[in-house]
Amino acid sequence: MLPEVAAVLGAATELLVAHIERTYGVLVRRASRVESVIRRGEHFDLRVRAPDGSRYEVRTASVVMNIGGTQTPHLLRDALREMKLVAPQEDERMLTSDRVLSEPVAALRAHFSQLMRDSQSLVVVGGSHSAFSVLERLAVELEAVGLKEIVLLHRSPIKLFFETREAAQQAGYVFDEESDVCPVSGRINRSGGLRYRAFEIGGGVLTEGVVPGTRVKVRTLPVGGGDAVAIADAQGCLNACAGVIQCIGYQPSLPELLRDDKEPVALREIQGGLDSDAAGCPCDTDGRRIEGLHLFGLGSGLAVDPKIGSEASFHGRIYGIWQFHHDASRPALERVLTKAAWHEQLAHSQTLHRYRLGRGRR
């Protein structure tokens, strides 16, 4: 199914790009790589590598980057350490959600059959949508090769999304009026709740303790509160399991960031991604907001915008596709247009000033 979806999205992208080029005259440079982003005062210089290997620079007032992200054992080890847990020593026992969700069935079963020779349990770390997609994939594909139990380690409570209070109440779902309801939309767990297929899997896990459609048991184990008993239990699961799958997000894939072509810029990270505002502008590690640099995508995310709304209990980053397509992109767009207008006005004023100076010399 996923390859077919990718093909459809690829074809749709080609149509959209062709429309943008034809209608708006936008220059699209494919297969190019931004190697460095250099902030110089009120503008940015981008060092770009072209498909033929040549390099050139682009000067711009604002930069909007969909940066993507990576998953590494180092990220998992750090996350577990923050929860006072120790990861397995063997890297081969640690896998990413990307690999579990994309690997062909035969390869997935062959790999886990080797891992599960001495243990028929796995540990999934995280409580996001990808964690529940991983639960389903593991249970459906590995039950036949001996998988009996999956332990889900998570920091934040697992919550479900509902469009209205009435829908949640009809489903018998208990929510907190103060902390779980978005004051703008009235939705329940708007930012942090499970939706779509993850909603169905999460519902089965929370109510029945199994992945729906399988006999694979799932035990949820919250470890975010620092409870010593829960932490000891979680460490025992990590030690005894056949493998650990990380579903705790991504580290951003950033180009080199410099200030005035010499000073490296490191970005501050918080729970869920980079410490960026509602327009995607990140902070450096000294707490300075980098205006004009707007970062989106895995490993980045946006801060909650009060005008868009979110539940008070949500403390992560905004990644939701729906919000990007509707409300979440507006703050970035408004800032980019405002800055472009300011630069245009400044350039006009400088041109007019030079013109007047020239006339004065006559």
Split at pLDDT 50, 70, 90, the class of 357 is low
> What is the per-residue pLDDT across 154-199, written as a single tens digit (0 to 9) for each?
988 899 999 999 999 999 999 999 999 999 889 999 888 998 899 9
- Of the CA atoms within 13 Å of residue 282, those in its CB half-sphere come to 27
For the domain made up of 70-158+194-246, give the CATH fold. Answer: FAD/NAD(P)-binding domain (3.50.50)
- φ, ψ for residue 164, nearest 5 deg: -140, 165
> What is the per-residue pLDDT across 294-323, written as a single tens digit (0 to 9) for each?
888 777 777 777 877 888 888 877 766 656
For the chain, the domains span 1-30, 31-60+254-342, 70-158+194-246
Residue 230: its H or E element: helix 228-240
pLDDT greater than 70 at residue 231 = yes
User: What DSSP state is assigned to residue 206?
Assistant: H
For residues 221 and 153, the answer to whether their CB atoms sit within 8 Å is yes
Q: How far is CA 137 from CA 193, 207, 213, 247, in A?
A: 20, 19, 11, 13
Share of the chain above pLDDT 90, in %: 40
* Token couple for 160: 């479900």
Q: How far is CA 327 from CA 66, 129, 181, 295, 335, in A?
A: 17, 21, 18, 16, 14
Q: Model pTM? A: 0.80
> How buried is 270 (Cβ within 10 angstroms: 0-12 exposed, 13-18 middle, 19+ buried)?
middle
Angstrom distance (rounded) from CA 156 to CA 133 = 18
Angstrom distance (rounded) from CA 140 to CA 149 = 12
